[in-house]
């Protein structure tokens, strides 16, 4: 008795061959010349008339034969697909992480859905915003945001100053150079807030997603290893159509 994963592996090849056969059959019956034949002989009007050899063209394609061949090819496809689909209804497995059953008795079709969703979720989690590692963060219970400790910085203002390079004399005015000096005029106290996640939170979430991904893959393999019962659908379908 075959297993579901073996039927899945065979299905693609059977489907490809049947489509090729259908295409070839379609092309054959769309060429009237291949289905047509003729036979004719010539008889002169009298014995002295010109004698011509008989002419004939054989029928190269018989539509009934094409139908039988196409039915045989499609019967195989119908049977393989039916075997897979019927088995998919019964193939199930538990999703287990670290000995704990997360989801019991999951159909294989849903396991495939879960696998794709978890791949997308993994991509999303990897791109989650993470707190700046250069800062020290604590969770503020009043806002439920992360915050830093207060940092005090000086606010300065540039104040012009005069520097006398040369004193005034009776003949020359004083030479004065203007420069600016930073003078403290106040203080900023800054607290930064963030709605990002800590690196530990993101790493733990990633680890859980990856464990679940592995568990779903194992479950899918287990479900796909179930034995299947061969289904014979094609013969009934084409027995009706061509009978």
**Statement to judge: residues 31 and 125 lie in one domain:** yes
- Tokens for 222, please give them: 């287990």
Coil vs helix vs strand at 243: coil
Helix 4-29 / helix 63-90 crossing angle, nearest 10 deg? 160
**Alpha-carbon distance 170 to 21, whole Å?**
116
Tell me the pTM.
0.67
3-state helix vs strand vs coil in the chain, percent to 5: 45, 25, 25
**Statement to judge: residues 178 and 233 lie in one domain:** no
- Tokens for 51, please give them: 């004698």
C-alpha torsion 210→211→216→222, nearest 10:
130
Domain that holds residue 182: 150-190
**Statement to judge: residues 53 and 9 lie in one domain:** yes
Task: Let me know if residue 112 belongs to a domain.
Answer: yes
Task: Let me know if residue 92 belongs to a domain.
Answer: yes
Query: Around Cβ 215, how many Cβ atoms within 10 Å?
Result: 23
Task: Let me know if residue 137 belongs to a domain.
Answer: no
Name the E strands within the chain: 38-40, 55-57, 92-97, 100-107, 137-140, 145-148, 151-166, 175-190, 193-194
β-strand partners of 175: 166
**Statement to judge: residues 30 and 84 lie in one domain:** yes
**Alpha-carbon distance 160 to 196, whole Å?**
44
Task: Let me know if residue 23 belongs to a domain.
Answer: yes
**Statement to judge: residues 10 and 76 lie in one domain:** yes
First vs last C-alpha separation in the chain: 31
**Alpha-carbon distance 168 to 93, whole Å?**
100
Asked if 59 and 36 count as a contact pair (C-beta separation under 8 A), the reply is yes
Task: Let me know if residue 121 belongs to a domain.
Answer: yes
Task: Let me know if residue 143 belongs to a domain.
Answer: no
**Statement to judge: residues 120 and 173 lie in one domain:** no
Asked if 139 and 146 count as a contact pair (C-beta separation under 8 A), the reply is yes
**Statement to judge: residues 177 and 203 lie in one domain:** no
**Statement to judge: residues 97 and 177 lie in one domain:** no
The domain total for the chain is 2
CA gyration radius, the chain: 43
Helix and strand tally (H, E) in the chain? 6, 9
**Statement to judge: residues 179 and 218 lie in one domain:** no
pLDDT tens digits in sequence order for the chain, 243 residues long: 678 888 888 888 999 999 899 998 888 888 888 888 999 998 888 888 888 899 898 888 888 888 999 999 999 999 999 999 998 888 999 999 999 999 999 999 899 999 999 999 999 999 999 999 999 999 999 999 999 999 999 999 999 888 877 787 777 787 888 888 999 999 999 999 999 999 999 999 999 999 999 999 999 999 988 888 888 999 999 898 887
* Cα 6–Cα 12–Cα 15 angle in degrees, nearest 5: 125
User: Which DSSP letter does residue 37 get?
Assistant: -
């Amino acid at each position: 008795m075959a297993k579901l994963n073996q039927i899945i592996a065979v299905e693609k090849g059977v489907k490809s061959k049947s489509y090729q056969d259908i295409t070839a059959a379609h092309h054959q019956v769309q060429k009237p010349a291949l289905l047509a034949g003729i036979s004719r002989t010539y008889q002169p009007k009298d014995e002295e008339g010109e004698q011509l050899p008989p002419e004939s063209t054989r029928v190269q394609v018989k539509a009934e034969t094409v139908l039988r061949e196409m039915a045989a090819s499609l019967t195989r496809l119908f049977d393989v697909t039916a075997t897979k689909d019927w088995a998919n209804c019964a193939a199930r497995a538990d999703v287990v992480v670290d000995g704990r059953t997360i989801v019991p008795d999951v159909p294989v079709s849903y396991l495939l859905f879960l696998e794709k969703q978890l791949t997308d979720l993994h991509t999303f989690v990897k791109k989650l915003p993470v707190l700046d590692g250069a800062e020290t963060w604590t969770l503020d219970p009043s806002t439920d945001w992360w915050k830093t400790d207060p940092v005090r910085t000086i606010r300065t203002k540039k104040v012009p100053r005069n520097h006398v390079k040369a004193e005034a004399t009776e003949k020359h005015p004083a030479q004065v150079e203007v420069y600016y000096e930073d003078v403290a005029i106040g203080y900023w106290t800054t607290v930064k807030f963030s709605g990002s996640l800590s690196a530990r939170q993101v790493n733990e979430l990633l680890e859980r997603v990856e464990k679940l991904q592995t568990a779903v893959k194992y479950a899918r393999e287990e479900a796909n290893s179930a034995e299947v019962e061969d289904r014979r659908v094609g013969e009934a379908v084409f027995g009706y159509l061509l009978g």
